[in-house]
Chain A
Amino acid sequence: MAETYSVALAGSGGAGVMTAGTLLLEGAAKAGFYGLMSKLAGSQVRGGETAALVRLATWRVESPPDAYDILCAVDWRNVDRFAPEIPLSRSAVILTDPASGPVPPVMLASGARLIELPLADLAKAIRGGRPAMVAIGVLGALARIPEDAIAAVLPKHLAEHGAAAIDASRAALAAGYRHVALLGLESGLPDPKPASNRWLISGNQALALGALRAGVRFVAGYPITPATEFVEWMSPALLRLGGRLIQGEDELASINLALGASFGGVPAMTVTSGPGFSLMVESVGLAVASETPLVLVDVQRAGPSTGISTKSEQSDLNLAVYGAHGDAPRVVVAPTSVADSLPAMEWAVGLAERLQVPVIVLADQQMGQADAVIDGLPPPAPRVTRLAPEPGKGPYKRYAMTPSGISPIATPGMPGCCWVGEGLTHNEGGAPVTSAKDHVTQIEKRWHKLDAFDFGADGAEIDGDGELAIVTWGSSAAPAREAADRLRREGLSVRVVALRLIAPVRPKQLLALLAGARRTVVVELNHRGQLFHYLRSEAALPDGAESLARPGPLPLTAREICARIQAEGHA
């Protein structure tokens, strides 16, 4: 595996750090590198400290680095608050502008080398020049990204600031590239392979685009971090495509707005994070009982309660799998990467439409708010449509028993098959009843729909067939895979099973995927090992399987996973 190059660019809000990080990432993508950018922001709504964390590589990188190679600060105001999130390697370099004051001691504790970089002076020499743009020149040069590649993406990102701003940024970028020689630093990455058809997209955007591809044309949501980018990208996109996004007055409204649109025959969804998902749970049960197709995206954040709205965790699995009173079978899908967010979402929408169930998509902040360079995706898969009633088949019964458990669903407007969707226990015709027979029959029917369905090979991504099996999900999959690569280089034989289909679980299939493993470790970012306990309760893990879990908000790294696997393996 080629080495990676990880930089943290920090500064107070308004310094242009995020734009600079995006330019660095997109320029790197143009030059053929892969990369990932996470964004750190303080709790202030405006003007607080910010940092763009960029990791570049010649291979598809989607996990945070063990430690950063370079920390460059435009200014140091409150940047020390990010110290736990910007671990520095022993050989790291801190680039600091003497004009911006002393480096916070906590940042120096790693033993990183301090190099002065007069960003403000270099920027001042250029009319309209900004220190963050000079920094990008320096960081781009150190990464061995051709200057032209970054220059080429300037107009797209700075168009609204006018031609003068683009020229000034171009000059500041050049000043950074020129200055690098004076720093006496070794440069970063090997040459990438020539690139074609790369995308730069965030996890939230990839989810939204996947929904559009699968035919979603109605979205309802209430503003909530870290799902906001989804609705803000989706709303104008839907208007272009003849759909709509509605801002509900709360999450109770949002899920019911989506259910209403879905009842009308339009593929519909809602998107939220943990607190909003908690509010929606009653209506998840309604979608189950009334057999209304619905997709609910939960971009997980650290909980419980308000938790940490801007940081990641994988602690909503229990809510997604079990949330709702009564026996309420549903599908839970979890994308395994930013790149997988799009196909996972396409799959989720298709499952909801086909199976007439709520499908919960468990994304998370780490993936959702990260921008990643990914391989361009193939054209959309064929859309799944609902099973429609056949005319002339006798009186229409909405909840008719069928071998698959899936009943034809009539859309309002279709003559001769009017029906009333019911949250009450109902009979085949949909009339409310309290009879034991109908209750049991309909509950069994809803479970049977899922039990009888062939989810195919899309339920897990399998990498290798080694004796050490790592089972993981969501944004923990990327560091788990990177850890597996390292362990293999140390001579271990490792397999990684990243689950995309969380519910319904298929114990036989999962055990088959784990056959021959001498050790199984379930890796996830929550305190109690929610996936581990869930799989164990479903008898889907081999005896002796271990849980490797800890809460967020700090993401798991490959180094941490390797260390814990090796430490616990010797115990």
Chain B
Amino acid sequence: MNADVLVAASAAKQFRTAVKPIWCPGCGDFGVLAAIERAFAVMAMPPEQIALISGIGCSSRLPAYLTPYGFHGVHGRALPFATGLKLARPDLEVIVVGGDGDGYSIGGNHFLHACRRNTDITYIVMDNRVFGMTKGQPSPTTEPDWGSPMAPGGPDMPSFDPVAIALAAGANFIARGFSGDPNRLAEMIVEAVRWPGFALVEVLSPCVTFRPDETEWKHAIHPGAGFPFDDRSRAAAAAARDPFATGIVFRSASRPRSRRASPVASGDLAAVEKEFAV
């Protein structure tokens, strides 16, 4: 374990607000909250330089529990909001948090294009394979045969593989973490934030209330062999072969493709207006 994380654990509490989480006792998201605090402490960033952006769902409540700037918007739109913020304010550290329903279902299109755009933001997904806030409907990552009142017998379609899709869509950094190991997760988050481009941290975060079977994940989790890859197809094959392999799955050896040169802030509006003069 990274020594920094141990040192930081005690400093992490300063990032907590007085707002009490709405999460059920034992929810995996507590571990993710702890990991994010520790990552902030390791990075020793002033909270005002950080913005935590989220949509809707249990995990999307997280920004209220931490001291940086934040925005809790509408369901599924955290990524475009965060992208707009980062493009307008490249000086800020922009981190998006949310769940599998928010990010892969209603926000699925934004997920694809955030990977493609490769803006320098970090996206932490607390994936519990269920809609928890609405009390137990299948999400895109739910197994095809997981039955529930809204989808008796299961959703009956293959589950969505966030790591494979992020790899295919062009994300620059992809990690798979586990909420039950907040120190190791904190290390991944630190590296994700520091790595240039769009970074996905897909966190297996059990829902103890609607998916009690997921408490067994702690026995299945293990470090991924050969992680991290810098080749997309090898990373995809390894991650798909072993869905409980954790660690940094992929880091692009190259920085995101450079965007057009920074605009020249001439501020000369009068010159722009001249084209309309007859």
Q: A and B from one assembly?
A: yes
Residues of A within 8 A of B (CB): 26, 29-30, 195, 197-201, 205, 209, 212-213, 217-218, 220, 237-244, 246, 248-250, 252-254, 256-266, 268, 282-283, 285-286, 290, 373, 376, 380, 412-424, 430-432
B81 and A256 contacting across the interface, CB-CB below 8 Å:
yes
Supply 28 A–B pairs (Cβ within 8 Å), ascending by A.
Answer: A195-B278, A198-B277, A199-B278, A200-B278, A209-B273, A213-B269, A217-B88, A218-B88, A220-B80, A239-B264, A241-B265, A241-B267, A242-B264, A243-B263, A249-B109, A249-B113, A253-B77, A257-B81, A260-B80, A260-B81, A263-B81, A268-B88, A286-B74, A412-B89, A413-B91, A415-B46, A423-B73, A431-B17
B156 at interface, CB cutoff 8 A: no
- Contact partners of A212 in chain B: CB under 8 A: 269, 272
Contact A250 B109 (CB under 8 A): yes
Residues of B with C-beta under 8 A to A198? 277-278
B98 in contact (CB, < 8 A): no
- The docked-state distance in angstroms from the alpha carbon of A197 to that of B274 is 11
A-B residue pairs, 10 tightest by C-beta: A242-B265, A260-B84, A257-B84, A261-B88, A420-B70, A260-B85, A253-B80, A264-B89, A260-B81, A256-B80
Contact of B110 among A238, A246, A249 (CB under 8 A): A249
| CA gap between A244 and B87 in the complex, in Å | 8
Q: A421 near B72 (CB under 8 angstroms)?
A: yes
State in angstroms the CA–CA spacing of A32 and B272 once bound together. 23
Write the chain B residue with the least CB distance to A283: B74
Q: Given the known A-B contacts A209-B273, A256-B80, A412-B92, are A242 and B87 also in contact in the complex, defined by CB atoms under 8 Å?
A: no
Which residue of A is nearest B265, CB measured? A242
Interface centre among A209, A250, A253, A373 (most CB of B within 10 A): A253
Known: A198-B278, A260-B53. A246 touches B69 (CB 8 A): no
Q: State in angstroms the CA–CA spacing of A17 and B39 once bound together.
A: 63
Is A257's CB under 8 angstroms from B70's CB?
no
Q: Taking A29-B278, A240-B264, A414-B48 as given, write out 16 further A-B residue pairs in contact, using a Cβ cutoff of 8 Å, ordered by the A residue number.
A: A240-B268, A241-B267, A242-B263, A242-B265, A243-B263, A249-B112, A252-B80, A252-B109, A253-B80, A260-B82, A264-B84, A266-B89, A290-B73, A413-B92, A415-B48, A418-B68
Query: By the criterion CB–CB under 8 Å, are A418 and B48 in contact?
Result: yes
Residues of the A chain whose Cβ atoms lie less than 8 Å from the Cβ of B137: none
- Nearest Cβ in chain B — how far from A351, in angstroms? 20
A198-B278, A257-B84, A373-B278 are contacts. A263–B269 as well, Cβ < 8 Å?
A: no
CB distance from B23 to the nearest CB of A (A): 13
CB-CB < 8 A to A197: which residues of B?
A: 277
In the complex the two chains form, what is the Cα distance from A366 to B111 in whole Å?
37
- B72 contacts which chain A residues (CB < 8 A)? 420-424, 432
Nearest-neighbor residue (CB-CB) of B112 within chain A: A249
Contacts of A420 in B (CB 8 A): 52, 63-64, 69-72
Q: Write the nearest CB–CB distance from B270 to chain A, whole angstroms.
A: 8
CB atoms of A237 and B272 under 8 A apart? yes
A250 contacts which chain B residues (CB < 8 A)?
A: 109
Interface residues of B in 51-75 (CB under 8 A from A): 51-53, 56, 61, 63-64, 67-74
> Which B residues form the contact surface with A (CB < 8 A)?
17, 19, 46-49, 51-53, 56, 61, 63-64, 67-74, 76-77, 79-89, 91-92, 109-110, 112-113, 260, 263-269, 271-273, 276-278
Distance of A241 Cα from B271 Cα, bound (Å): 10
Known contacts A249-B113, A256-B73, A259-B73, A30 near B278 by CB under 8 Å: yes
Q: Which of B89, B264, B266 has the most A CB atoms < 10 Å from its CB?
A: B89
Name the residue of chain B whose CB is nearest to the CB of A242: B265
Closest B residue to A195 by beta carbon equals B278
Give the docked Cα–Cα distance between A285 and B74 (Å): 9
Distance in angstroms from A455 CB to nearest chain B CB is 26
Q: In the complex, A220→B81 CA distance in Å?
A: 11
Please determine whether B64 and A246 come into contact, CB atoms closer than 8 angstroms.
no
Q: Which residue of A lies closest to B52 (CB)?
A: A420
Contact flag A246-B87 (CB < 8 Å), given A240-B264, A241-B265, A263-B71: yes
What residues on A are CB-neighbors of B89 within 8 Å? 261, 264-266, 412-413
How far, in Å, is B22 (CB) from chain A's closest CB?
8
Chain B residues with CB under 8 A of A242: 263-267
Closest chain-B Cβ to A425's Cβ sits at a distance in Å of 12
Contacts of B74 in A (CB 8 A): 256, 282-283, 285-286, 423
Tell me how far the C-beta of A250 lies from the nearest C-beta in chain B, rounded to whole angstroms.
6
- A415: chain B residues at CB < 8 Å are 46, 48
Whether A246 touches B84, Cβ cut-off 8 Å, given contacts A205-B276, A414-B48, A415-B46, is yes
Q: Which residue of chain B is the closest to A257 with respect to CB atoms?
A: B84
**Cross-chain contact A412 with B84 (CB below 8 angstroms):** no
Residues of A within 8 A of B278 (CB): 26, 29-30, 195, 198-200, 373
Q: Which residues of A contact B80 (CB under 8 A)?
A: 220, 248-249, 252-254, 256-257, 260
Contact (Cβ within 8 A) B48 A413: yes
Most buried by A among B47, B61, B86, B87: B87
B77 touches A240 (CB 8 A): no
Chain A proximity of B134: nearest CB distance (Å): 15
Closest to B119 in A: A246
User: For residue B83, which residues in chain A have a CB less than 8 angstroms away from its CB?
Assistant: 246, 257, 260
Chain A residues with CB below 8 A from B110, complex form: 249, 252-253
User: Could you say which residues of chain A place their CB within 8 Å of the CB of B77?
Assistant: 252-253, 256, 283
Taken together as a complex, chains A and B put the C-alpha atoms of A258 and B74 apart, in Å, by: 14
Choose among A248, A268, A290, A373 the residue that contacts B71 (Cβ–Cβ < 8 A).
A290
Closest Cβ–Cβ distance, residue B268 to chain A (whole Å): 7
Give the shortest distance, in Å, between A508 (CB) and chain B (any CB): 36
Contact A413 B49 (CB under 8 A): yes
For B70, the closest partner residue in chain A by CB is A420
